[in-house]
Chain A
């Protein structure tokens, strides 16, 4: 059974940092792109970052470029999101998700597995 379990969320002041982790199990982690998707009551779902199996391709949504870093440790079946210089608008539930890629990794079709998420609250 595929499982994605996030951790590392919490309350942080504006300008602060957090590191999220996602523990993956039930599939060959090495063979899959991985993503972080955040969810807020006001904006719904938003893809934050994608990372290819070997780390050679990365995508970030414009609003987090230069502040967030996605990474992975294939030996430990783990995905990470380092979040620096956090802003109030980064407050959200952050989900780890497994994207299904098509056409030689050119197209992201959908996400076939998601974690429940970890809550990040940015507030003074």
Chain B
């Protein structure tokens, strides 16, 4: 199964908002409300930001929000801060105990 499609890179200035898209098919993103988003800084473990399309774990800033329309999920980061720079990955349930991931998006804060 092919990976979910994400833009390779996005950028924004401090204080601005950016959105990262994650496109799949009706067999994954479009078929289930089990989309999650992860943030990873260099040399660090991935950290879950959003799960089940729009839910934020305790401790995650409300500047991060998730949504979905059809086969495309989106992560919006508002009020960009320097610490938001890093790699972002989406993931979706596909079948039974399996998930697929997006190829990752590098966020640069200008």
Where the two chains meet, the residues of A that have a C-beta atom closer than 8 Å to any C-beta of B are 4, 33, 43-47, 50, 57, 59, 61, 95, 97, 99-102, 105-117
Q: Which of A45, A110, A112 contacts B34 (CB 8 A)?
A: A110
Most buried by A among B44, B57, B99: B99
B58 to A: closest C-beta gap in Å: 10
- Chain B residues with a Cβ closer than 8 Å to the other chain, count: 26
Per DSSP, are chain A's interface residues mostly helix, strand or loop, or mixed?
A: strand
The distance in angstroms between the C-alpha atoms of A46 and B98, with both chains bound, is 10
Q: What is the distance, in angstroms, from B24's C-beta to the closest C-beta of chain A?
A: 14
Q: Which residues of A contact B51 (CB under 8 A)?
A: 100, 109-110, 112
Q: Which of A44, A59, A116 contacts B97 (CB 8 A)?
A: A59
B86 CB → nearest A CB, Å: 14
**Min C-beta distance of A93 to chain B, whole Å:** 10
Q: Is the CB of A45 within 8 A of B96?
A: no
Q: Whole-angstrom distance from the CB of A45 to the nearest CB of chain B?
A: 4
- How far apart sit A110 and B51, CA to CA, in the bound complex (Å)? 6
